[in-house]
Amino acid sequence: MSASGGLLLSFSLPTLSRSKPWQQPDATAIEINAWLSIAPDDTVVIRVAKAEMGQGVLTSLPMIVAEELEADWRQVKVEYADANRQLQENGVYGPMRTVASDSIMAGREMLQRVGAEARERLIKAAAETWHVLASECYADYGRIYHQGSSRSFSFGEVAGLAAEVSVANVRIKQPDDFNFLGLPTPRLDVPAKVDGTAIYSMDVRLPDMVYATVLHCPVIGGKVRGMRLNAVRNMPGFIRALRFETAVAVVADTFWQARQAAAALPVFWDTRHAEEQYSDTIKKGFFAELGGAGQVISRQGDIVNLMDRADRTIESDYFAPYLAHAALEPLNATVHVQSKRVDIWVGHQDPEAAIAAVSEVTGIAAEHVYLHNCYIGGGFGRRSNTDFVREAARIAMQIGRPVQMIWTREEDMRAGAYRPMSAMRFKAGFDLSKRLVALTNHSVTHSILYDRDGATNGPDPNSIDGLHNHPYEFPAWEFSHTRKNTHVTSWWWRSVGSSINAWARECFIDEMAVAAEQDPLRYRRQLLSERPDYLKVLDLLEQHSGWGKQVLPPGSARGVAIHRSSGTIVGQVAEVAVRPDGTVGVNRITVVVDCGHLVNPQTARQQVEGATLFGLSAALYGKLTIESGQVLEDNFDTYEILGMAELPEINVHFVPAVADDRWGGLGEPATPVIAPAVCNALYEVTGRRIRSLPISDYYLQAV
């Protein structure tokens, strides 16, 4: 409260304890390994090395450990693993990046081994105490039992000895042996998220802390020419204004005072060249490249000859705009730079990268940089970028006190790191009996890796994912690619290349079905006849959606799409209506998911629903318009997000796992499928193909 500048009378803080995921455990707890501590009262603390941004890892990852440990789930507490310890102990936690929906896919076996190893050590410790064989002992619900006698220990009673012993050749369970994994389990972070005690990085309050707001040049690529400090020097709470190459930061006692000073601060920008930029002209540049050759990624057959001899060809161009992530919590970070130590409080998807970035900015060695990861108010990929953390560190270096830098909604959305822009052309040739003879695709896409790393060898895999590696059986094909970067910056956006490529590809498959005079779902079946995994999803989709059976009212229709990303196949059927006023209503979505094994079906369903709605918002409304170099959509009044009133009925069906099945991702794979399902349904209703997003750019009428 010291920094508030306010006089406070007769007020006490609520007694609720604040929920900080980085909180250190009970000091009496005994550490079994870097992942696990057990307290004398039997509390098991499991550390989570991934970031909680709504996908439920703070619950699902400890569930995996607890299953092997034979813990009593009611005794389990969770906290974040320390990214600095990760650095000091040679990556003890495995990669800490939370990306690509792979927390379970990539980390599951390691977490099983962590739990199994700890269980065996607890058993060995108990057996040694009893002077019996470890093979005569077993763990269950937080206790170690000796078979054939009534002796037992709680975990806490043998934790001290377990920390000293070691075991070898620990076996992990197979899915048939699970008691707990696969059961719907309430999320552990929910109570703190409904009583206001969950701490996001913007909620961090430190002694002597001040606030910073940032004004980036409103024209992308522009620079600071100067500012007139005298205009704000005497404003209430004002501390300093800092000039950087492309931005100005204003620091004050409170955030609102910083905002007031920033609003009054005359800043002069150098926007030469950059202000000639318009998204329409940028878009034209992408289309201009479509006719070019591109770099061939994959080819089979004499394409030129086959297309020449085709009885009929169809050709279509698709376009996807730049998109902002628009996580609800605007980007922010709190940084305290001291002479030999930096502390960062941030919600970050890639704490190791954030530490490296802050070390680079401040010149303080990474082992002296401590990152306190917070709950993340929406990540969607954006919070794996270190741009905002670097900026907070640059500001904090000059202030010498803890600084909480908050980007306003507008700064957050204008700051770049967008989903890439892309244009692509599909062409298909058919013979006299309407059979496909060849398919070509040329994509022109802004490369994320080029933005990040500069030149890359060959096409950016993010740009072409879902195109050349499609599941379909084509008789002949060519996939080619052209990288097209602009002065706008791009970054990973939930489901990455799939969100663009699966949309265009699945829409064009529908165009092919029409050309072949086939039902779109049956047509996919034919092209997927060698892929039983996809056929299984299509079977369930047909069964649950009423496809081809239940007739819909006039002005509405169904559309279908299917795609695999992050190890998971998702098929969707959307029931879509066009209202008399031309607006689009998505009434019902049937989703079939084949991810293999599920850790927590409750969060799995939530992720599928949420990912679908994330994709639907983008499909219906998502676009960024650049005029005179400035991004126009910088808040929710212009960058529309789907609301409660537009919520479709969403029915999610999981394909039951089979033996040796995979543990596919769930945070993203439903996102790319909804846009093509809706666009394909809209064609059925209106006769128009949506080949450029968003859908709201079209004036649609049912026919």
Site for another protein in 40-79 (CB under 8 A): 53-56
Helix (H) or strand (E) holding 512: helix 497-515
State the Cα–Cα distance between residues 524 and 563, nearest whole angstrom.
Answer: 11
Q: How far is the CB of 445 from another protein (least distance, A)?
A: 25
Instruction: Check binding of 606 to another protein (CB under 8 A).
Output: yes
The smaller minimum CB distance to another protein, of residues 30 and 678, is found at: 678
Judged by CB under 8 A, the residue of 62, 218, 294, 330 near another protein is 330
Q: How far apart are CA 529 and CA 344, in angstroms?
A: 53
* Contact pick of 163, 217, 500, 650 for another protein (by CB under 8 A): 650
Quickly list H helices, 310-454: 351-362, 387-399, 409-414, 448-453
Stretch that binds another protein, among 36-44, 417-425, 434-442, 636-644 (CB under 8 A): 636-644
Query: What minimum distance in Å lies between the beta carbon of 478 and another protein?
Result: 38
Of 389, 393, 405, 613, the one binding another protein (CB under 8 A) is 613
208 binds another protein (CB under 8 A): no
**DSSP symbols for 80-101:** EPPHHHHHHTTSTT------TT
Q: How many CB atoms lie within 10 A of CB 632?
A: 14
Q: Are 88 and 81 in contact (CB under 8 A)?
A: no
Pairing of strands 342-346, 152-154: unpaired
For 522-554, the DSSP string reads HHHHHHTTT-HHHHHHHHHHHHHHTTTTSPPPT
DSSP letter, residue 599: S
Nearer to another protein, 10 or 135 (CB): 10
* Cβ at position 351, least distance to another protein in Å: 17
Q: Are 307 and 299 in contact (CB under 8 A)?
A: no
Residues 487-526 interacting with another protein (rule: CB under 8 A): none
Which residue, 318 or 380, has its beta carbon nearer to another protein? 380
Contact between 327 and another protein (CB under 8 A)? Answer: yes
Handedness of CA 537, 543, 548, 553 (dihedral sign): negative
Q: Which is closer to another protein, CB of 222 or CB of 378?
A: 378
- Look at residues 159, 166, 169 and name the one whose alpha carbon lies nearest to residue 139: 159
Order of all β-strands in the sheet with 295-300:
295-300, 477-483, 436-445, 422-430, 312-320
CB of 611 to another protein, least distance (A): 8
Q: What spatial distance separates the first Cα and last Cα of the chain, rounded to whole Å?
A: 63
Give the residue with the Cβ less far from another protein, 112 or 332.
332
Distance CA 225, CA 222 (A): 9
Q: Residue for token digits 């750019």? A: 697
CA–CA separation, 57 vs 667, rounded Å?
10
Interaction with another protein in 10-39: which residues (CB under 8 A)? Answer: 10-14, 16
* Distance of alpha carbon 110 from alpha carbon 116, whole angstroms: 10
Contacting another protein within 395-424 (CB under 8 A): 406, 408-409
State the minimum distance, in angstroms, from the CB of residue 261 to another protein: 12
Distances (CA, A) of 525 to 321, 338, 702: 31, 62, 28
Angstrom distance (rounded) from CA 98 to CA 55: 10
Position among 296, 514, 641, 702 found at the interface with another protein (CB under 8 A)? 641
The stretch near another protein (CB under 8 A) out of 69-77, 482-490, 505-513, 606-614 is 606-614
Tokens of 699: 């004036």
Q: Kindly state the smallest distance separating residue 48's Cβ from another protein, in Å.
A: 15
Residues 146-205 that bind another protein (CB under 8 A): 186-187, 189-200, 202-203, 205
Crossing angle, helix 155-162 and helix 103-130, to 10 degrees? 90
Q: Least distance from C-beta 29 to another protein, angstroms?
A: 27
Q: Which is nearer to another protein, 365 or 647 (CB)?
A: 647
Among 635, 656, 658, 697, binds another protein (CB under 8 A): 635
Q: Are 384 and 97 in contact (CB under 8 A)?
A: yes
Stretch that binds another protein, among 61-69, 288-296, 336-344, 607-615 (CB under 8 A): 607-615
Q: How far is the CB of 381 from another protein (least distance, A)?
A: 13
CB of 9 to another protein, least distance (A): 5
In degrees, to the nearest 5, what angle opens at C-alpha 655 toward C-alphas 107 and 528? 100
Q: Which is nearer to another protein, 594 or 609 (CB)?
A: 609
With CB under 8 A as the rule, give the number of residues binding another protein.
Answer: 74
Helix axes 103-130, 57-69, angle to 10 degrees: 30
Smallest separation (angstroms) from another protein to the CB of 259: 8
Considering only 7, 293, 551, 659, the residue that binds another protein (CB under 8 A) is 7
Q: Which of 454, 553, 554, 643 binds another protein (CB under 8 A)?
A: 643
Q: Of residues 212-251, which lie at the interface with another protein (CB under 8 A)?
A: 236
Binding mask 366-385 for another protein (x = CB under 8 A): ---------xxxxxx-----
Facing residues of 477 across strands?
Answer: 300, 439
**CA 32/CA 125 separation, integer angstroms:** 12
Q: Which is nearer to another protein, 103 or 612 (CB)?
A: 612
Proportion of the chain in helix, strand, coil states, percent, rounded to 5: 35, 25, 40
When binding is defined by CB under 8 A, the residue of 647, 658, 697, 703 that contacts another protein is 647
Closest CA to 175 of 549, 596, 563: 596
Residue 335 is classified by DSSP as E
Query: Which residue in this structure is represented by tokens 């004398």?
Result: 40
Contacts to another protein from residues 667-686, by CB under 8 A: none
- The C-alpha atoms of residue 379 and residue 383 are separated, in whole angstroms, by 5
Nearer to another protein, 115 or 648 (CB): 648
Choose the stretch contacting another protein; rule: CB under 8 A; options: 265-273, 325-333, 461-469, 570-578: 325-333
Residues 531-590 that bind another protein (CB under 8 A): none
Q: Which of 644, 659, 660, 699 binds another protein (CB under 8 A)?
A: 644
CB of 256 or CB of 268, closer to another protein: 256
For another protein, the closer of residues 432 and 644 by Cβ is: 644
- If one asks whether residue 207 binds another protein (CB under 8 A), the answer comes out as no
Work out how close the CB of 561 gets to another protein at its nearest, in angstroms, rounded to a whole number: 18
Kindly give the pairing relationship between strand 584-594 and strand 649-654: parallel
Determine, following the binding rule CB under 8 A, whether residue 254 of this chain makes contact with another protein: yes
- Identify which of residues 467 and 642 has a Cβ nearer to another protein in the complex: 642
Q: Closer CB to another protein, residue 58 or residue 361?
A: 58
